[in-house]
Chains A and B, each alone.
Chain A
Amino acid sequence: MADMSVSQMSKGEILADGFWHNNTIFAQLLGMCPLLGVTTSAVNGFWMGAATVLVLLGSNIVVSMIRGFVPRDVRIPAYITVIAAFVTVVGLAMNAWMHDMYLILGLFIPLIVVNCAILGRAEAFASKNGLVDSVLDALGVGLGFTFALMLLGSVREIFGYGTWFGYPVLGENYPDFLMFILPPGAFIALGFILAGVNIINRRMGSRAANAEPACTPAAHVVSEKA
């Protein structure tokens, strides 16, 4: 969310920044509600992430297009209206064509509206940048979020049930390790993943310095609302 430098970033940097350096989960620790709520399996994490990518794409595109037209004072209600509309569209589409997954994700689909990461991208990026860059930003951030959800879902499913995407990977007789499926397991697994991410970032060197936790003014305002 380094607002000022954004316009000087190359296309590749926008993608990499959203996917890794400022990853919603790993670097900013935003969007924890869907992260901890639905990641009892890898496939749940994947589809929750996919729904979020679609909403992010829609909202970033529209916000970028109307950025010169919406007065500053009413931008937040305008963005939230746009985001809520796309969330409802994605929810209805999932209900229609992926009914079983819709029943599993249930409440967490409408809750995408209050995922502060999405309003954060609208406010911090799409409202200041052109269409192409905003699409790239949505893809980078969205895929990064999906990756994080799938990673946590995979860890919890593998250790909890001994399966990955429903296929047994730890042998047929793996005794279920319930703690990983229950909420405490989500926090513990996330802690280890964050530790791993920090190790990787340290090895990668100075770039990690950019990944300050979400304390830019924009992200701050947003997380208070969510």
Chain B
Amino acid sequence: MSASEKKTGGINRDMVMMVVALTLVTAISAALLGLTDVVTREPILEAQRAALQRNLEQVLPKHANVPMDDVIRLSDDDAATPFYVARDADGALLALAWEVVAPDGYSGSIRILMGVLPDGALHAVRITDHRETPGLGDGIVQNRKWIDFFIGKSLGNVSWAVKKDGGDFDQFTGATITPRAVVKAVHRGLEFFAAQRDALLARAAGK
């Protein structure tokens, strides 16, 4: 290339070849990506729905509807947090489930799905996504006893902190930050429900 550069100051054959080669390579790569996106878009959505479905079944009481398709939001904005509604055969509200995020985990955000009964008591809690240390912080997923401790808890009947901070929730040996983040996030979720309970129940009933 240096030789041809010396020859002329303007565009030369080598440079054109480079542009052509890179353009073709990127164009073909883009086409490949577009094709893959078309093929995988539906299966990815389905896989995500199946994962959400599995988690919803675990945090909601026995219900007669399909909570995944029975969604209410506090505002008409589609980006607002979706609340999944569980109903009995008569269409009466049994429980609500929604996702909260603990931004202060040991490594990154922890996503938590919580199912709450109309009286403000938890039905169950599940971790849907986390990057906590295997063997330590991931006890929030592996340790069934720990996550089941949330069952039946409400704002009033338990002290919302880990034992190290003077509360009722166990921490794990060598991992306090993770359970503390989860307990805090669920607590915030319940406070939110208490504040917005009437609006949420009205919306759920109005559907």
Contact = CB atoms under 8 A, between A and B. Distances in A.
SS of A interface (majority): helix
A74 B37 contact: no
Contacts of A100: 51
Contacts of A89: 32-33, 36
A178 B135 contact: yes
B47 A95 contact: yes
B47 A92 contact: no
A78 interface: yes
B17 A71 contact: yes
Contacts of A160: 135
A204 B51 CA distance: 50
B66 interface: no
A77 interface: yes
B140 to A, nearest CB: 15
B136 A71 contact: no
B116 to A, nearest CB: 25
Given A71-B21, A93-B40, A182 B29 contact: no
Contacts of A77: 22
A89 B34 CA distance: 10
Given A96-B43, A176-B135, A182-B133, A66 B25 contact: yes
B11 interface: no
Contacts of A71: 14, 17-18, 21
A85 B25 CA distance: 10
A207 B44 CA distance: 47
Interface residues of A, number: 29
B33 A74 contact: no
A70 B22 CA distance: 8
Contacts of B29: 81-82, 84-85
B25 A70 contact: yes
Contacts of B43: 96-97
B21 A69 contact: yes
Interface of B: 1, 14, 17-18, 21-22, 25-26, 29-30, 32-33, 36-37, 39-40, 43-44, 47-48, 50-51, 129, 131, 133-136
Interface of A: 40, 66, 69-71, 73-74, 77-78, 81-82, 84-85, 88-89, 92-93, 95-97, 99-100, 103, 106, 160, 176, 178, 181-182
